[in-house]
Every structure is written in structure tokens, then in C-alpha cells.
Structure 1
Amino acid sequence: MENAIVMKNVCKDFKILNRHEGLKGSIRDLFSRDYKTISAVKDVSLEIAKGEIIGYLGPNGAGKSTTIKMMTGVLEPTSGEIIVNGRVPYKDRTANSEHIGVVFGQRSQLWWSLPLIESFKLLRDIYMVSKEDYENMLALYRSLVDIEPILHKPVRQMSLGQR
């Protein structure tokens, strides 16, 4: 079977400013930058076949979100190779994103006191999504996921999974 995702020896490092404490440290940081390297993802290799469903589990800080961001093209790996549906995600992010959807659950963009549908409408206006595109996407979600029972429910009354 053909692979949808192939990752070979993927690593992602972040260069972080090593800040010094106090006034002297702040002045020192202005003139001399001292960086440390943090490895978020270390040598990850995997193959996922088309149609295969997997779970990607690990403790906080294990690099799960960073790995997903590299698969979607949001981040470029420091080293290694990623191919998603025949594309290098960070080189062809627009085409890649037409076929991938990702939802990160850490931060809610829903307003606690508003019904779900009103949060959607606010987000539509904030991101300047046309009413036609909004209605098309809402219809798609209604057909894919049974959201009708919760559309008019305040977000605070929803379970974590529903949110």
C-alpha cells in the first residue's frame, strides 16, 4: 500500500536566548547574546499508509505538536525528510494544507458564555471569511460530525470533547 506520510530521521531544534537575571544581566543580554539549543524532536522516523489510522501519544514536551506542525508545513525540520502525500510540507504548504486539517486542543477560540454557533460567527468575522464559504464549511461539518445538538448550546455547558 502507498504511504501517505513518510518521515525519515526528522529532528527539530529551537535556538533559545539564555537570559541572565537582574539589571546587570539584562544589560549584558543587550550586547552579548548567549543561546542554547533545545531539541524538540529527535530522530523520528515513521511511515503511515494511506487510509491508516494511528494515535500519536506521549507525555507533555515529547514533541507531538512540533511533529504535527512539521507535517503540516507550519515548521521546517532542522534535519531529516518529511513527505506528506508526495509533497514536502514546508515547501508546498498551500497545496499541502488543502488536504490536511489539524485542531490543537490546548487553546479554545470559543467564547465561554456564547452558544457555539455565535462563536463560529465571530470567528468568521474576525478572519474575514465570506458568508458563502462559512455556510459551505458549516454544512460540511454538519454532514461529517453531528454538531447540530450543540450548535445553540453555550460553550461552558459542553464537555471537553465537544469543545
Structure 2
Amino acid sequence: MIEVQGLSKTYRVADKQPGLGGTLQHFMRRRHRDVQAVSDVCFSIAAGEMVGFLGANGAGKTTTLKMLCGLIYPSAGQVVVAGHQPQKRHPDFLRRITLVMGQKQQLLWDLPPMDSLRVNAAVYGISDRDAKRRISDLSDLLELGEELTRPVRKLSLGQRMKAELLAALLHQPDVLFLDEPTLGLDVNAQSRVRQFLTDYNQRTGATVLLTSHYMADITALCPRVLLIHQGHLFHDGPLDRLANRLAPERHVRLELASPVGAEAFAGLGRLDRCCDCEVNLRVQPHELTAVVAQLLERFEVRDLEVNDPPIDQLIGDLFRQGSL
């Protein structure tokens, strides 16, 4: 459904020094420099896949999405989405995609969402009967009712974001480009949006490319992730395999009935902390069952927890390194 080969984008920007002197110098003799936003990105996404697109701020995620939608013309490379070259903006292509950006809106601020939905239906040539049916189905999935008849400015952020999703999906696109669709939403609203996207993908078989700074969005929706750093794609693969590669050990936390010396834990994984009655160990997954059994046999344990390292922390460390 999406095929990207050698995709690059370079911006030419003015190089101006601050202050009055810099302004005068820039007026008399302009200087420019090239900024490489995206460089030689290659990947492919099959129909029906839900793929997470991760990177720090300024890594090139939004620029890539805009090139995939045809909003920005690439400096180099080839892009094919749903059998079309996005930069040509063919009407058949535009009917098959949608772009949702959490920091931008398409609904008219002073009008109810229903009015904007009717305009969208007319733009895409959807009959009144089909438009009513689709609006009813999508509003049920998104738990939107009377909110569709209130002015957009009167809606909460979560209600507005769900209405934006409804407007973006009214024409039943085959490809969804979602740029931080849960930005600024509370925990409950984020959960409802994730569930809606899962249901929509299962019902329609739509292809989804999702960027988000909330790792809960990625872990809930995307089995596969693309990682980008300073415009370069440096990982493409399953999320669980990435997590196991970044943190191959499990964290075991113990609370003992009485203090025990650190030497008592020799051969039971890697000791991180041993302070009074609290003990933290790191254990290889294939040794976990045996180690936990020995801990329960040797010591009087009041509490025991086994956890994976937080995925947010792992991905954050990875972004700071910029490579695997």
C-alpha cells in the first residue's frame, strides 16, 4: 500500500543573525543554508498494517507524512501510496487517504461539526443517505451524540478530536496518516480513540501510519515501528523484538522480612540494589522461573514483582543515542 525508496527533503532557509545589525546585513546581502529534514528513507507498508513512526521532535516524522500525503514535494526519491504518486495529487489518490494532525483542525470553529461533515460529504461526492449512515456509524463508535450539533468552540478537546477523526474518515479512506491524534487528551479520551482506531482497522482493513509521543498509543496499536533520527531511518521491525533487544533482562523487586547481605544473591541474576529489606535484581528471561523459585525458597519474601523495563524509557534512551 505504501512504498518509499530513497525519500529525501532539503529546505533552503535564510541564515540571519539576530539584532539590528543582523537585519541590515541580511537586507543587503542575504545568506542561505540547506537543512536536510529527511535523508534517504526507505520502507514499505502492506495493506491493513498499523505501523508506528517514532522519533524525537524535529526528527523528520511530520515532513515524511506530508510527503506521503502530497502536501510537500520531495527533493529526491520515489513514493507510491495506494498505487499513486502523492505529489501529483490525483483526485482518486485524495479519495483514498486522510491526514489527521493533533495540533491542527479542519472543523470550522463557530459551526457545529455536523455542518462541516455535510460540507465534507459534498466535497467527496457522498450521497445524503450514505453520509447519514456513515456519520451515524462513526459517531456510535466514537461515542459522539449531541456534540455534533454544538459549535466546535463549545466542545472539549477530547470531543473536538473525536469529531476531527469522524470528519477525516467520512469518505472511508484506505490509508490513514495520523500525526499525534491523541495530543493533549486525557487518559480516558486517549483510550477511547485507541479503541476506535483498532475497531476501524479491523472493520475496514485500512492501513495506518501513526506518529505519537505517547508510547501507550504505539504499544496498543502498532506491532511494527519505524524509528527516525535527524532525518535518517535507523530501525524498521517488530516493537516487541526491539524492546527485547534494548532490554534483554527482567527487573525483579523483592521486599524481604529481614535484611540480607548482598552476597546471599550470588548466582541469582545481576544485583542492582540491596538496601535493608529491599532488593532489586536483573534476570535473563530464560532464567526467570528458576531464579524466582530459588528466591522464594531461600528467603522470607513479603512482596515480589517482576517487570519489563518501561518502554518509554527505552525508546527515550534510543532517541538520545540516535542508533541501535
TM-score by length of structure 1 reads 0.74
Shift of 1:90: 0.3
Give the secondary-structure state (helix, strand or coil) at the position aligned to 1:54. strand
Alignment of 1:1-20 (within 5 A): 4-20=1-17
C-alpha offsets along residues 73-101 of structure 1, whole Å, 9 cap, x if unaligned?
11111111101122211024433211101
- Contact 1:74/1:93 (<8 A) preserved: no
Runs of 4 or more off by more than 6 Å in structure 1?
A: 122-125
* Cα gap change, 1:49 to 1:122, in 2 (>3 Å): closer
Gaps of 5+ in 1: none
Aligned to 1:90: 87
* Residue 19 to residue 58, structure 1, CA distance change in 2 (3 Å): same
Q: What's the counterpart of residue 155 of structure 2?
A: 155
CA distance in 2 between counterparts of 1:78 and 1:151 reads 41
5+ long unaligned stretches in structure 2: 164-324
Residue 66 of structure 2 aligns with which residue? 69
Residues 121-144 of structure 1, C-alpha deviation per residue, up to 9 Å, x if partnerless?
Answer: 36978x9x67x9695656424323
Query: Aligned-pair RMSD on alpha carbons?
Result: 3.2
Q: How many residues align?
A: 154
SS of corresponding position for 2:112: helix
C-alpha contact 1:13 1:40 (8 A) present in aligned 2: yes
Q: Is the 8 A contact 1:5 1:48 kept in 2?
A: yes
1:140 to 126, 131, 134: 134
> 2:41 matched to which residue of 1?
44
Tell whether 2:41 aligns with 1:34: no
Name which structure has the greater RCO, CA cutoff 8 Å, separation 6+.
Answer: 1
Equivalent-residue separation in structure 2 for 1:36 and 1:42 (angstroms): 16
- The residue identity in structure 1 corresponding to 2:72 is L
Which residue pairs with 1:121 in the alignment? 115
Pair member with larger Rg: 2
Q: Which has the higher helix share?
A: 2
2:136 is aligned with what amino acid? R
More strand by share: 2
Q: TM-score, normalised by structure 2?
A: 0.41
